[in-house]
A and B are shown apart, each in its own frame.
Chain A
Amino acid sequence: MNVDLPAGTRNYSYAQDMTVFRTRTHWALLAALLVALLAAPLYSSNYWLGVGNLIGITIIAATGLNILTGYCGQLSIGHAGFIAVGAYTSVVLTNRFGVPFLAALVLAGVAAGLIGMVFGIPSLRVKGFYLAISTIAAQFIIVWVINHWTAVTGGFNGMSVPPASVGGLALVSQGSQFYLIMVTTAVAVFLAKNLARTRVGRAFVAIRDNDLAAEVMGINLFHYKLVAFFAGCFLAGVAGSLFAHWVGFVNAENFTFMDSILYVGMIIIGGLGTAVGPIFGVVFIRLLQQGITFVSPVLESAFALPAGFTTGIGPMVFGLVIILFLILEPRGLAHRWALFKASYRLWPFSY
């Protein structure tokens, strides 16, 4: 039974079938969301705008990883490394060569995408664990190069980054950054959603489900796997560029192996291979992070816990959350959301 649509809605043409926003309620909800987002700088404090910015940037990166891992099934545990490539490319281009920010944003994506493709080449011959290891190697090699190529990257000391400027307008405040980041996030999510529904996206899913069968059906594995690596790492690079100009400082410390693991965790918690999954996963993890930073000092002083509590509790909780989701709900929050929608659409006869 099709519960993708509200009760009483029927599709009478292919165009209707393909629409993302099908009913007036959908459009009204979309408009409400956009108004709420656009007006956010008016009613939120700087702190929460910052959180929103971080969430937006992470959604872009996680969406990229979702294309690569969720749709195409190529596990990448080096995503933070590819984000770092984007961040440093953008910083070097704007800082040294005076490239306008928007051009640098795109070039950062391209650079990260190309590096991602290079490390994705082994994916033709190996898969699963082998590929995971090769992306881990990518992560460490990239971070090592960043730390040691002092002439370009500033080495361990990092570099300060000028704020992003669009058309001569420098985006200094959290609010102005918020608009830039939200627009980019919306575009990225929209593109990813549509990529998944094209010929390319269907090829990705075929490769994920059974790459041999896909190859037999005439899908060029090498081509599509590299496209997946490029698309996934392109979004990582864009996220890196936004991140660097948002924080105002880059350093390899921001792009660790643990971050790479966390990105994988986010898309698993959200739901692999769904358009809304990365958004759910990122919001869940980042809000959890906020909660932990808020709660742990309070707990520490209240119960006289050891000094390591504040630093250690975060990773422990994230690890636990990843494990529990994989055991209890491997299809992630997106699946729960779909169940919820189905149940309220059929209410009071949902069973």
Chain B
Amino acid sequence: MADLLQFVITGTTVGMVYALIALGFVLVWKSTGVANLALGQLVLISSWFTYGMLVQAGLPFWLGFPLVVLFALALGWGIERLVLRPLIGQPILSLITVTLGVAYFLQGAVGFIWPKSVAALPSLFSQEPIHIGPAVVSQEYLWSALISLSLFGLLSLYFKYHKMGVVMRATADDQLAVQACGVPVTKIFSRSWMLACTLAAVGGILISSIGGITFGLCETGLKAFSVVILGGLDSFLGAIVAGPIIGLAENLGGGYLTPLTWPGVKEVIPFVIIIIVMFVKPYGLFGEARVERI
């Protein structure tokens, strides 16, 4: 029973961080139509950048964190401006593969600047574990969930009330109409990428404060794909609902299936879920099934 509660709590909280990263993906997909496969590497490089700021440069958190956000914004702006803007109007195959090129480049950059394979962030939250009923949970998990939830709240307010957010939603709905209304669509693209990179950075910090910085962070980014596939590519709600589901499946499966199968079953569950969703309900729980015409 204690195990179950433990798995449920860790699963849901980690899943919320996945949802946060996935939200960045959905944002870019909806407003620009680009599938960002460099998500894992974005998480990786911003975690390492945080390490560089907090540990290597020894900055305090209140100074280091804004720098990380600035870095993420600059990264998003750069990727959109230098790589994706020249490719507007190209076939989807080019748009997907160019993000693979970005992924390769970022992975190389991480290997270049931070050649060590493992590092730990300084503990951002209190180390005192919290007892919830029979389960013992470290505070990182709860803080991660809390931060993710409040970011969801802020984002939904932004999309509902802020002018820019409304325009972003409109762009996602109909690019041509928005352009006709005099909105500079390229600026929206740029904003989406900047926001997506920031979400990836925050997600990266939260995940690496739980598990340290390893190359496994790339796979964390890839797990966000299973969130978007399960939730539906073009659905914010889908990402938020599917995140905890993936986290739960991963942790419950890892907890209860390991004696039945091989160890490490936890790592592969999100990918198995992708395949199952592909077979059963390819457009996800909340995704819009595309109807095409010739």
Q: Which residues of A contact B (CB under 8 A)?
A: 69, 73, 75, 77, 119, 121-122, 125-126, 128-130, 132-134, 136-138, 140-141, 144, 147-149, 210, 212-213, 216, 257-258, 261-262, 264-265, 268, 272, 306-309, 311-323, 326-327, 330
Contact = CB atoms under 8 A, between A and B. Distances in A.
B275 A75 contact: no
Given A77-B37, A130-B229, A307-B115, A320 B101 contact: yes
Interface string B252-276: 0000000000111001100110110
Interface of B: 29, 35, 37, 83, 86-87, 90, 92-94, 96-98, 100-115, 218-219, 222, 225-226, 229, 233, 262-264, 267-268, 271-272, 274-275, 278-279, 282-283, 292-294
**Interface class of chain A by DSSP:** helix
Contact of A330 (B94, B100, B113, B267): B94
Contacts of B101: 265, 318-323, 326
B263 A148 contact: yes
B282 A126 contact: yes
A312 B271 contact: no
B113 to A, nearest CB: 6
B262 A323 contact: no
Nearest to A149: B262
A159 B109 CA distance: 32
Given A132-B37, A265-B104, A313-B112, 4 more contacts: A137-B272, A265-B101, A312-B115, A319-B107
B294 A212 contact: yes
B100 A264 contact: yes
B105 A323 contact: yes
Nearest to A213: B294
B202 to A, nearest CB: 23
A316 B112 contact: yes
A133 B87 contact: no
Which of B29, B86, B115, B219 has the most chain A CB within a 10 Å cutoff? B115
Given A121-B279, A148-B263, A149-B262, A141 B272 contact: yes
A134 B111 contact: no
12 contacts: A122-B282, A128-B96, A129-B29, A130-B282, A133-B278, A136-B225, A140-B219, A140-B222, A312-B109, A316-B112, A318-B108, A326-B101
A308 B115 contact: yes
B87 A128 contact: no
A134 B274 contact: yes
A319 B79 CA distance: 13
Contacts of B86: 327
A189 to B, nearest CB: 23
B268 A73 contact: no
A136 B224 CA distance: 13
Contact of B87 (A119, A320, A327): A327
Which of A136, A137, A216, A311 has the most chain B CB within a 10 Å cutoff? A137
Contacts of A149: 262
A69 B93 CA distance: 9
Which of A73, A140, A147, A212 has the most chain B CB within a 10 Å cutoff? A140
A312 B83 contact: no
A132 B96 contact: yes
Nearest to B109: A316
Which of A312, A320, A323, A326 has the most chain B CB within a 10 Å cutoff? A323
A129 B35 CA distance: 6
A147 B261 CA distance: 13
Given A122-B278, A136-B225, A306-B115, A77 B262 contact: no
Contacts of A147: 264
Contact of A308 (B94, B112, B272): B112
A129 B92 contact: yes
Given A311-B111, A326-B87, A210 B97 contact: no
A50 to B, nearest CB: 24
Given A128-B35, A308-B111, A326 B104 contact: no
A281 B256 CA distance: 46
A148 B262 contact: yes
Given A128-B96, A149-B262, A327-B86, A261 B271 contact: no
